[in-house]
A and B are shown apart, each in its own frame.
Chain A
Amino acid sequence: MRWLAVFGSALRRLRQRPVRTFLLLQGTIWGVAVAIFPSAVIQGTREAARTQGFELGADRIAIRADTTPHEARGLVRADLERIRAAVESDGTVLAALGGARVATSLPQEGREPLTVLEATPGVEPARGHVLAAGRWLTAEDGPTHCVVESGVAAWLGRSALEPGDRIQLAGWPAALDVVGVCAPRSAQARRTNDLGFDLEHPLYRKVGVPLLFAMGIMPVPDAWKRSETCVHVPAPPGATDELHWVFLRVDPSAVSETAARVRERMNDDGLAVVMLYPLVLPMILGDAVERFDAVNLAMFLACLLMGAVVMLNLGLLAALTRSREIAIRRTEGATRGDIALQFVAEGLVLALLGAALGCALGMLLAHLRASLEPVAGFTWTFPVREASVAVLVALLAGLLASLLPALRAARQDPVQGLADE
């Protein structure tokens, strides 16, 4: 009870001088905020990549042949097996793999064109589709079978398409029997490109595109991937076995290494490839980002040290200027311990308050930072472990900073204190 009373009176004293208290809190607030905000962003984004990797496309790699060295060959169907072997060579689980050739694109006024893809079995899930009805294409399917994306029905002016329906596309030689219908993808997935950028983010054009250009990465004309108006048909036998794109899905944390391995394997076969996969998420999932921790820790300690020094300095001053108050309390019966406790309590309350406000400010900074990033899945969460450590360290700093003033105040002679008046 006595402790509670001491803390209560410390709180009252801090409340009586709000400006002084607020200024005193600065160091702790900024220190804690700086300590936890990068972790908040990194942990939140890691969690998003792990839990919603499929929706965000964080598990997807799209491959095309590099057109710049044109003496080299293009991607062919036989490359799919080479890619499978390269991915599985170290035990990485391949979730899906397939290739596609853009056979034709049918324009329609005011709509995304409808794209017919000559596909190898497995390409629909490899592109991140989920089956709504029916089944995927298989090797046994004939040239009149197709799997349609969710927007095809509306494109054809029909209310819905179901397995068993027959569709006729202008300019396509045969009527097609629908064997499977894809579920509509999330709005986020439909505006995210292969590199993981949110194309509708206000900063994508201003920051994202120039950044990619600076990195030597050129934009790819591939609006059809996000159109929801693709029709997948089996590649006709005897036709060209060229593939424009190969898609594969692996665990989000393995994307980077898998891409590097596939690239090497393709290089060995005389094929230069361009691999498109989310650029930022693998970096966040990797260990390299931990390097920033030391910088954050240094900043945290610098801020906290400044805060503690200010507290210490003012505590010492207070011990001098409040000598009259201290003397009166001593004559009223307060022990040296009570006086010291009062100073320590004030330091602790300040540290606790600063840490709490720092956590809030940290989350605000994290939110701001995440919203400035045109990357799909870039978000934040409350980093429990880092926040607890920061709060504990802040409390310790508060305690240490108030010890010296507390001792000095306790040592004051009440008679002298009053006589000075």
Chain B
Amino acid sequence: MGEGLRHVARHPLRSILTAFTSAIAIAVTVNVISLSFGMQADIAGDVDLFGRRTIDVGVPPALAPGAPVPALGDAEVARMSELLVGLEPIVVPRRQRASPVRAAADTEAVPQRMQLVAAPPAYVETLSIPLAYGRWLVEADDALPAPNACVLDHAAAARLFADPAAAVGAEVELGLDGALRRMRVVGVLADPMRYRELFEIFDEGEGARTLTSSLLSFRNVYVPARTFGGGAYTGVSIVLPDDEAVLEAQARLIRVWADASDLRALSGSSLIVFVRRQWMEALGASTMQGSMLGNIVWLLIVLVAAVMISTLNLITVRERYDEVALRRCEGARRVDIAMQITFEGMTTAVIGGLAGLPIGYFGASVMRSIVGFPFRFELRYAIAATGVAVLLGLLSSVVPARHAAALQPARVLGRRLR
């Protein structure tokens, strides 16, 4: 070991360069991990807020031409409550529209198209999103003749007001049935999407979503249930107390209506039952697949780094045959040689790896500022990356160490003298 360290110290330039290669490899590894795993973990956490224990019942999104639209009114809501008796469900019917919205104080502003969701106060139970500012809607807000309170999603507030925190107390104008309606903002929900900016840049699918499915883009305005008057509902959300109850409720509901996970059911003309958790799982799997495809390249680079360090060690050893042979003559055993080479490889890889952590962090920050990508740096990633460094060092030393240990000193030195 002492010899290994001495060797590392005796050839500072070579050691620095080897460590540098290792540093870059670790920096890249840190970036790979913080980009893909961090983002995935974040998305999984975000999606968890979208209503894990919520089931939606609604009209199928793609009725066959000429097929009748299934009814969804108070009778169907009562039927749901009846079916789910004993499961302690919270049944929340809602009506939705796409409507122009603008801040009432800013009469010059171009109205923004947003989803209006009219629902009773219990709607907040269908999600696990906390309030960022103000309060949620209460029964008193739904006072006739004209309910005039609303809650905004954070992304909606950010579009309408320069400072979303200042939205509470301000008034917005909604276009409803050809007339403008003033509503006072009483609260702003937190944004459950950490990667909102990325999502919106690459969200080409926005236009292909139905009103119901775009609800989960969280750019909505929530208004009291009576705002739109009566009429059929757009959908009904049912919140169950736990996962088991969700499964049981799904089983009971699909005895009457179609199951959304059965693709054929989507084009029928029965109401469909949509379990949000199943959608969340699909979303998680797709994110995983998407980032896997994207990250193949990144992982390749880590692999290349490993190959490079290994190459470096291998060639270094090959070009140090004389030295190894001399050490053998001086009495060093094969094991000593192998240990020395391995120790050298590990030392430079670890030193390089530690140096690579700040480089990786710096690289991630630069990338974040240039690209707006969600690079994250966390202690556990740093530890994982250092682990990778040690592993790289070990792996990249095995072949060279075996190579060096197997040398016949007499042959090497003999060739040299010829």
Contacts and interface: CB of A to CB of B under 8 A. Distances in A.
B372 A68 contact: no
B205 A302 contact: no
Contacts of A268: 100
Contacts of A214: 279, 282-283, 285-287
B269 to A, nearest CB: 9
B213 A294 contact: no
A283 B21 CA distance: 36
- Size bin of chain A's contact surface: 35 or more
B205 A218 contact: no
A274 B285 contact: no
B25 interface: yes
B367 interface: yes
Interface in A93-122: 101-102
Given A303-B301, A372-B293, A260 B211 contact: no
Interface stretch (B1-9, B135-143, B314-322): B314-322
Contacts of A219: 62, 263, 266-267
A334 interface: no
Contacts of A161: none
A71 B232 CA distance: 7
B40 interface: no
Interface stretch (B63-71, B152-160, B240-248, B376-384): B63-71
Interface in B30-78: 58-66, 69, 72
A317 B311 CA distance: 14
A31 to B, nearest CB: 9
Contacts of A30: 300-301, 304
A220 interface: yes
Contact of A321 (B263, B287, B319): B319
A267 B289 contact: no
B216 interface: yes
B371 A295 contact: yes
A215 B211 contact: no
Nearest to A321: B319
A210 B14 contact: no
Nearest to B228: A71
Interface string A297-323: 011001101110110111011101100
A267 B98 contact: yes
Contact of A220 (B62, B312, B371): B62
Interface string B381-407: 000000000000000000000000000
A211 B203 CA distance: 12
Interface stretch (A21-29, A162-170, A341-349, A384-392): A21-29
B357 interface: no
Nearest to A65: B63
Contacts of B20: 309
A283 B212 CA distance: 24
A244 B61 contact: no
A68 B312 contact: no
Contacts of A318: 319
Contacts of B204: 256, 279-280, 282-283
B365 interface: no
A257 B278 CA distance: 32
Contacts of A321: 319
A66 interface: yes
A195 B204 CA distance: 10
A23 B307 contact: yes
Q: Top 8 closest A-B pairs, CB basis?
A: A216-B213, A275-B207, A23-B311, A102-B65, A221-B267, A214-B283, A313-B17, A214-B286
Given A37-B297, A272-B210, 19 more contacts: A66-B211, A70-B59, A101-B65, A214-B285, A259-B207, A260-B206, A267-B98, A272-B211, A277-B207, A279-B205, A288-B202, A295-B373, A302-B24, A306-B304, A310-B308, A313-B18, A316-B13, A317-B315, A317-B319
